[in-house]
Amino acid sequence: MTRVFNFSPGPATLPEAVLRRAADEMLDWHGCGMSVMEMSHRGKDFMSIFAETESLARELLAVPANYKVLFMQGGALGENAIVPMNLIGRTGKADYVVTGDWSKKSLKEAGKYGAARIAASGDASNFTAIPKQSEWKLDPAASYVHICSNETIGGVEYHWTPDTGSTPLVADMSSNIMSRPIDVSRYGVIYAGAQKNMGPSGVTLVIVRDDLLGHALPITPSAFNYQVQAENESMYNTPPTYAIYIAGLVYQHIKASGGLAAMEKHNAQKAALLYDFLDESRFFTNKVAKADRSLMNVTFWLKDAALDDEFVKGAQARGMVQLKGHRSVGGMRASIYNAMPAEGVKALVAYMKDFEARHA
């Protein structure tokens, strides 16, 4: 068995130790005689897994007591509708800050449920920068302000927390949650698909402040109603049990590795290896404003796009896969979430240097 360095934007690489443990426990979890996949979600074994997973999520993210932690289905794109269904009814309006493809999709979906408007947009920079807060035009009557904290396609990331006053800040953190400490108290709702830093696709972490429960539109499906799920401890419907178990193993791994402060250091070091090289290279370029560069998704372009295929194939031959950029923007993208080891990034930079020397 040879494991590759997998730069996929998501679903993404997972800690090998987590996968080994999942394989070991597949037929018989802790001597209970069954797989986690086979457990009744209301049985004591799964309830203990669930409780530990929720507790670890709370601990790692330092979630205050006045927030609920939910594990839901539907992913971030599901949440694009679920968020307005649950929140926009407060005033009928919502503000969206558009910084790339994901926040564009969020905005579009919200329009089905109320007056969703653009409070700020990165379009002037072709989405290579996060609009400064001084340029945001917030509506004091908005039910919430929505941001995407990291755009995986463009590779831009907030390295600061917006101040939206008394209007709740809602963040799609799918692609940078658990990559560094955050101050949850600055947010009304945080949601994140698991498939970058937390586990397999199919489970969505939702953190919601207590006072935002109970405002759902009447057309909100019960399974996607935050209050219903909060009252039922995420078990109004059968939760995605195995995905939650894997997320729990990932949380254990993060905790054992030093928690989110250690992740932040690890991720900053990995990203610096790539960005420092990109800044000195005459062959590869990154287009993102330095202050807004994503530590999770490093986008770059070759001087000559005709060499893209050769670059990708050469990488693959060296055990580095999924480097092709999103089809909407082209170029390359190295997604280097928590579970990407520094060795993977070093191998990539070494290959890029070599490729440049051969083609410059």
Q: Which residues are annotated as a binding site?
A: 42, 102, 152, 172, 195, 237-238
Angle between helices 259-280 and 44-61 (to 10 degrees): 60
Position among 52, 55, 58, 77 found at the interface with its own copies (CB under 8 A): 77
19 binds its own copies (CB under 8 A): yes
Name the strands in the sheet holding 93-98, side by side, starting at the edge strand that comes first in the sequence.
Answer: 67-72, 204-209, 189-193, 169-172, 145-148, 93-98, 115-121
137 in catalytic set: no
48 binds its own copies (CB under 8 A): no
Q: What is the b/e burial string over 74-110, where b = at least 16 CB atoms within 10 angstroms of the residue's CB?
A: bbbbbbbbbbbbbbbbbbebbbbbbbbbbbbbbbebb
Stretch that binds its own copies, among 20-28, 143-151, 162-170, 263-271 (CB under 8 A): 20-28
16 binds its own copies (CB under 8 A): yes
Q: Catalytic pick from 95, 172, 287, 301?
A: 172
196 in catalytic set: yes
Show the tokens assigned to 293.
Answer: 């560069």
Where does residue 77 fall: left (phi above 0), alpha (psi -120 to 50 degrees), or beta otherwise?
alpha
78 binds its own copies (CB under 8 A): yes
Q: Catalytic pick from 29, 68, 95, 102?
A: 102
Choose between 129 and 296: whose C-beta lies nearer to its own copies.
296
183 in catalytic set: no
Distance CA(105)–CA(259), nearest Å, equals 32
Beta strand 332-335 pairing with 297-302: antiparallel
Stretch that binds its own copies, among 133-141, 156-164, 232-240, 271-279 (CB under 8 A): 232-240
Choose between 10 and 154: whose C-beta lies nearer to its own copies.
10
Stretch that binds its own copies, among 61-69, 194-202, 302-310, 352-360 (CB under 8 A): 194-202
82 binds its own copies (CB under 8 A): yes
| Start-to-end CA span in the chain (Å) | 35
Site string for its own copies, 319-358 (x = CB under 8 A): x-xx------------------------------------
Position among 101, 115, 202, 312 found at the interface with its own copies (CB under 8 A): 202
Distance CA(322)–CA(334), nearest Å, equals 8
The residues near 156 (Cβ < 8 Å, ≥ 6 apart) are 99, 100, 122, 127, 128, 129, 130, 150, 288, 289, 292, 293, 294
Torsion angle in degrees (nearest 10) through CA of 75, 80, 82, 83 = 120
Active site residues: 102, 172, 196
Give contact residues for its own copies (rule: CB under 8 A). Answer: 1-4, 6, 8-14, 16, 19-20, 22-24, 26-28, 32-35, 37-41, 43, 73-78, 80-82, 85, 109, 112-113, 193, 195, 199-203, 218-224, 236-243, 246, 319, 321-322
